[in-house]
């Protein structure tokens, strides 16, 4: 089984063990599927390079479509990473997005969807990086799962301790603004991993497209937790 199949098998047996990541009512809230690939011709290089203009574009897109959040990105081959040299490598640039992004207002509460502990945290303060980041560790009847929350507010790291217990639906953070979240429009990068090796407060959220099959063995689809599909404004 790949990573998604392993997590799906646990959820099938324990559906009540899954909580929320953001406040969301499937009956009333609409979600906008943001396409950040080359197919979206609105995303010019100049627009994406200008954080304020990029933020305004997302805010207007959500408002025009009466959507609470913009969502998407799992295993999406994106062009927007040209905005930062962080994603450049000598052989193949990193362009494959490994988690799901939830775009919304700065300060939007972020919750832990599973019982767990604080594995690690850090402020990855580089242009285009995660900014403040929290990684939680979960034990799902022997299946170890890690959840990563990137682009948070700096104050969310205050008082955290490695090993600290976290309850289901406990608020752990809020979306950071562009001045503190790695210089992105406010959003949450939510990612799941079965193995993170010796990672500490950071784990790649963007990888090489040629390695997609390897990532699929370790990185489950976050939609299993979010359960957003029925509310997307298609």
Domain ranges of the chain: 3-231
Task: Name the residue with higher pLDDT: 90 or 191.
Answer: 191
For residue 88, the model assigns a pLDDT of 63
pTM: 0.93
- Residue 86, pLDDT above cutoff 70: no
Only one residue has tokens 């992105």, namely 184
For residue 83, the model assigns a pLDDT of 59
- Token readout for 233 is 């404004």
Collapsing DSSP to helix, strand or coil, 118 comes out as strand
Nearest Cα to Cα of residue 105 among 69, 148, 57: 69
HEC string for 103-135? ECCCCCEEECCCCEEEEEEEEECCCCCCEEEEE
Average pLDDT over residues 51-79: 94
Across the chain, what does the average pLDDT equal?
Answer: 92
User: For 70-83, what is the mean pLDDT?
Assistant: 84
Residues 6+ apart with CB under 8 A from 217: 2, 3
Structural element, H or E, at residue 9: helix 3-13
CA distance 234 to 219: 25
- Are 58 and 70 in contact by the 8 Å Cβ rule? The answer is yes
**Whether residue 115 has pLDDT greater than 80:** yes
How do residues 155-184 score in pLDDT, each as one tens digit?
Answer: 999 999 999 999 999 999 999 999 999 999
Local structure of 218: helix, strand or coil: helix
What is the pLDDT, as a whole number, of residue 87?
A: 66
Q: Report whether pLDDT(76) > 60.
A: yes
pLDDT at 84: 60
Other CB atoms within 10 A of residue 144 CB: 12
Q: pLDDT grade, residue 91 (50/70/90)?
A: confident
Architecture of domain 3-231: Distorted Sandwich (2.70)
- Given this model, what pLDDT does residue 234 score? 47
Residue 22: HSE in the Cβ half-sphere, 13 Å Cα cutoff: 31
Residue 231's pLDDT band, with cuts at 50, 70 and 90, is low
């Amino acid at each position: 089984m790949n990573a998604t199949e392993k997590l799906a098998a646990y959820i099938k047996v324990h559906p009540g063990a899954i909580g929320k990541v953001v406040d969301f009512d499937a009956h009333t809230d609409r979600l906008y599927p943001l396409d950040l690939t080359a197919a979206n011709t609105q995303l010019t290089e100049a627009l994406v390079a200008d954080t304020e203009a990029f933020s305004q574009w997302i805010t207007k897109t959500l408002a025009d479509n009466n959507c609470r959040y913009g969502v998407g990105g799992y295993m999406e081959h994106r062009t927007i990473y040209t905005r930062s040299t962080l994603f450049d490598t000598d052989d193949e640039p990193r362009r494959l997005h490994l988690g799901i992004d939830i775009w919304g207002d700065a300060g939007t509460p972020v919750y832990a969807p599973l019982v767990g502990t604080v594995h690690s945290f850090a402020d990855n303060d580089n242009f285009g990086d995660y900014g403040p980041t929290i990684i939680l560790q979960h034990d799902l009847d022997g299946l170890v799962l890690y959840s990563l929350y990137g682009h948070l507010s700096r104050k969310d790291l205050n008082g955290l301790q490695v090993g600290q217990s976290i309850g289901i639906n406990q608020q752990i953070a809020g979306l950071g603004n562009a001045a503190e979240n790695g210089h992105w429009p406010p959003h949450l990068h939510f990612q799941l991993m079965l193995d993170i090796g010796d990672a500490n407060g950071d784990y790649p959220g963007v990888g090489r497209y040629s390695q997609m099959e390897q990532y699929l063995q370790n990185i489950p689809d976050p939609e299993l937790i979010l359960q957003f599909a029925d509310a997307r404004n298609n």
